[in-house]
Amino acid sequence: MKTAKDYMTAADAVVERISLEDALTKHGAENTVFVDVRDSGDIAKTGTVAGAVRINRGFLEFAADDNTQYHNANLTKDAHLYLLCAAGGQAALAGKTLKDMGYQNVYNIGGFGAWKDAGGPVENG
């Protein structure tokens, strides 16, 4: 039987965790998409990365699959996807899902609070 730790270990093994400093330099770059996987209630309370696509982790498979009517056009296989959540755990798990779906350029930037504290651009939820 798998535990949450097992899932996190597997996700961390395939989804690169990059530093906030590196993530800040990627913000606004061409073919780069920041994706907040928290639920809309959390984003409404705290805000999110400026320009981030908001896709709840529970809906990710549908938004990432270009064969569904729910596909989010921002998610393309050649885009560089920078994922965040509250602390980095959900971003890692979402990143593994995207990798399993054929996305190659997937990165975990951790939590929104750390992004905001580091002076990253934000917008209201």
Query: What is the number of domains present in the chain?
Result: 1
pLDDT score, position 46:
96
List, for the chain, all residue ranges whose pLDDT scores fall below the cut of 50.
Answer: none
Q: Which residues pair with 54 in a beta bridge?
A: 36
pLDDT score, position 125:
82
pLDDT score, position 80:
98
Q: Using one digit for the tens of pLDDT, what is the confidence trace for 59-78?
A: 999 999 999 999 999 999 99
Q: Residue 81's domain spans which residues?
A: 4-123
* CB-based contact 63:72 (threshold 8 Å): yes
CATH of the domain at 77: 3.40.250.10
